[in-house]
Structure 1
Amino acid sequence: MKKLEGKVAVITGGNSGIGLATAKRFVEEGAYVFITGRRQQELDAAVQQIGRNVTGVQGDVANLADLDRLFATVQAEKGTLDIVFANAGGGEFVPLGAITEEHYDRTFNSNVKGLVFTVQKALPLLKDGSSIILNASITSIKGSEAFSVYSATKAAVRSFARTWTSDLKQRKIRVNALSPGPIATPALDGLVSTPEETEQLKAHLVSTIPLGRLGDPDEIAKVASFLASDDSSFVTGVELFVDGGSAQI
């Protein structure tokens, strides 16, 4: 029997990168997945890549009406939920002196507000004993230059894993933070402007990773599958680093 056989999962930001890789793996492990993405064309392409046992729901996690529509779709099609992977979010390099209100609001709206209300609005559908996975980052404990607003959002995410574990303990719902290191995704490429800058950034990041390479999105997906499954039945409130050692030494 596959480890997620018969489970129903929501993965926000499932149209690319870590979210898409996790959706593919969850389906391979027997789950039915609902994925979200802001851009309909990319979402449709992701659904086609996954191929089966998937529903795409276009929307922005920072828009509460979009979240309501997502969970109304889940309720209409499946009735209940077993897994939520609050994955959607993003960031950009902005040094302290250049931070604008727009940058601050955009980053906190997607990474914090969107995550809070994704989980809150999922609660009525989540079965007791379900798994909630929050996509954090090694930046929650690292002092990355020109990345302060993004890093602060991920520190908040790590805190939510602790506090929501306490909030949901009566329902035996497990809440864990998954903290990737540098992963080869489109989001990483989008942090800088030119191919040359991209290669320089990747070379710098690799130099900080004991395993000597960037991570692959499926390596994050495998850990998300562990946290979603009964294999992690006694794991809750943790921050699980999947970073090639880069935040550990």
Structure 2
Amino acid sequence: MGQLDGKVAVVTGASKGIGFASAQRFAEEGAYVYLIGRGKEELDRAVTEIGAHRATGVRGDVTNLADLDRLFATVAADERRIDVLFANAGRTTFSPLAEVTEEHYEESTRINVRSSLFTVQKALPLLNDQASVILATSTTAGRGTAGVGVYAASKAAIRSLTRTWANELRHRGIRVNAIAPGATETPALVAATPEGLTPEEFRAMVAAPVPLGRTSTAAEQAAAALFLASAESSYITGIELLVDGGINQI
């Protein structure tokens, strides 16, 4: 028996990285999974790897409310309701205070805060009672890391929303938690490499202060997401689960 047998899960930003690893793990544990991602080839590949009998891909951009409507309309048209919602989509952006632009600010808040807000809001009519909602924060939100102030603030906003929504949805038994990944081996980590560094140099730089001495794998983050999605965490709501190799604790 799988931990999510007979359940329906929706994962945003699911065509690669932590989103894909989580969607794949949910399906392996028995869930039927809806994935949304922007790139058709990546999304099709993700559905193929998971298995078409276990997954449906919806191409779309979570910052576009019409695309979110289409995602949930697809779930409804299949006469399914949602047991697990992982609002994973987001983007890491770098800019020190002196260089922050209006465009940088708008991009960070649109992708990381606005999309999570409306993903959860638009899912509400389809969420089963006792469903699990998982949001994506970041270890940077509480560390004061130089150069990521706007990004960190956007993820701190998600931490705040986690608490609020856990309180607002408790009457339905819906649990709302957040997962805060540390530096993880994903395409996003490579894409976040600052100018002047190679991906290998950047990886070594972010791994150096981690007590476990390395970056995380997407599968390790997916295992944490599975815990929050499953009945194993049935008495947990409102938390931020740090999956960071100890960097925020030691």
TM-score range relative to shorter protein: over 0.9
Number of residue pairs matched by the alignment: 249
Q: CA deviation at 1:102?
A: 1.1
Partner of 2:192: 191
Deviations 1:215-240 (A, max 9, x none): 00000101101100111000000011
Question: Could you list the runs of 5+ residues in structure 1 that have no partner in the other structure?
Answer: none
**5+ residue gaps, structure 2:** none
After superposing the two structures, state which structure 1 stretch, 192-201 or 182-191, moved more.
192-201
Corresponding position of 1:64: 65
SS of structure 2 residue aligned to 1:124: helix
Q: Aligned-pair RMSD on alpha carbons? A: 1.2
* Counterpart amino acid of residue 74 in structure 2: T
What amino acid does structure 2 have at the position aligned with 1:68? D
Q: 1:74 to 1:201 in 2, by over 3 A?
A: same
User: Which residue of structure 2 lines up, in the alignment, with residue 221 of structure 1?
Assistant: 222
| CA-CA distance at 1:78 after TM superposition | 3.7
Please say if residues 136 and 158 of structure 1, whose CA atoms lie closer than 8 Å, have aligned partners that are also in contact. Answer: yes
If the length of structure 1 is used for normalisation, what is the TM-score?
0.97
Q: Tell me, yes or no, if the aligned pair for 2:3 and 2:29 is still in contact at 8 Å.
A: yes
Partner residue in 1 for 2:13: 13
Pairing of 1:92-241 with structure 2 (within 5 A): 92-192=93-193, 196-241=197-242
Q: Which residue of 2 aligns with 1:4?
A: 4
Contact preservation (8 Å) 2:26, 2:33: yes
- Which residue matches 2:48? 48
Displacement of 1:194 in angstroms is: 6.9
User: Which one-letter code corresponds to 1:155 in the other structure?
Assistant: A
Distance in 2, matches of 1:219 and 1:32, equals: 21
Render the CA deviation track for 1:36-68: whole Å, top value 9, x for unaligned.
Answer: 111112111111121241001011111100000
What code does the residue aligned with 1:37 have? Answer: G
Q: Does the 8 Å CA contact 1:138/1:181 hold for their aligned counterparts?
A: yes
Give the Cα–Cα distance (whole angstroms) in 2 for the partners of residues 132 and 206 of structure 1.
29
1:104-143 Cα distance to aligned partner (Å, 9 max, x none): 1111111100000000000000011000000111011111
Counterpart CA distance in 2 for 1:107 and 1:246 is 24
Question: Structure 2: which amino acid aligns with 1:17?
Answer: G
TM-score, normalised to structure 2's length? 0.97
